[in-house]
Amino acid sequence: MMSEEEFLALAKAEQDKWVNPVGRLILAAASIERSVNELLNVLEPEASGVWRKKDFFTRAGRISDISKKELSDTLAAALKDQKRKYWPVMESRNAIAHNPLFMHAFGQGPDAVVSATILHQQKDMAYNLADIRKFADEADAVSADLMQFAANFPIAHQREIDLAHSIFTAMHLRRPEEGDYLSAEVDAGQAGIVDAAADPMKVAFEAKYNRDWEDPSGDEMKAIWADAWAAAKADQTGQRTGT
């Protein structure tokens, strides 16, 4: 039978192998949680303090709810893709953080061996060291990607708000500076100032918003722009014919 001293020495050596991957997983999960908080603060700043008191998965669910109701398909899809990647990482983090490491002793003397396993207390699952290393590698990659996404998200979100508001105003409120801009662009296209091989509506869109018309991520914005362009063109036609 293995002595207590032998067991403790071997158990300490085995436990040391887990420190790095477990620590990496926990740190990456903390980074993911911060990034999700930042996203929620952008989407719902007036209520972010309330949601911060909720558990992580509730906060992530709130982001999904807002995405479906208030964001364009493009941004909603981007957030959904991030969630698809970070959700399992956080589930792994919880499984590791809330379940104990069990040591298994075999043999004695020079042949004594101690192995370790994390046993899930609610699910019939066990995780060995290779599993934890895999979780840690995935968590590092996902947290870095989400951090970059969260850093760029306020810009993308505000750009979308500004564009939608600008075009909506041109269409419905007919604010002079927006209406004049569209009118001038329509005039330029009709006068042949714009390259004849190019669609003046598309050229004007790309020039004003610095976006490629062919980029499918802007389909919703392009549809609104096309309507605004048509409205401005119709206004000019009416003015010229006196109708």
| pLDDT tens sequence across 82-139 | 999 999 999 999 999 999 888 887 777 777 777 889 988 888 889 999 999 999 999 9
Residue 163 within any structural domain of the chain: no
Is this structure's pTM higher than 0.75? Answer: no
9 and 128 assigned to the same domain: yes
Q: How far is Cα 85 from Cα 66, in angstroms, rounded to an integer?
A: 19
- Residue 165 counted as domain residue: no
Is residue 201 in a domain? yes
The whole domain housing 27 covers 4-153
Asked if residue 159 belongs to a domain, the reply is: no
* 158 assigned to some structural domain: no
In angstroms, what CA-CA distances link 190 with 25, 46, 136, 199? 60, 46, 59, 10
Domain boundary among 123, 153, 183: 153
The residue type found at 22 is V
The Cα–Cα gap between 84 and 153 comes to: 17
Q: Classify residue 106: in a domain, yes or no.
A: yes
∠ CA 28-31-36, rounded to 5°: 130
Give domain status of residue 190, yes or no: yes
For the chain, give the mean pLDDT: 77
**Could you tell me if 125 and 208 lie in one domain?**
no
Same domain, 72 and 141: yes
Q: Tell me: do 122 and 205 sit in the same domain.
A: no
Quote the tokens at residue 118: 């994390």
Specify the number of domains making up the chain: 2
The predicted model gives 233-243 an average pLDDT of 55
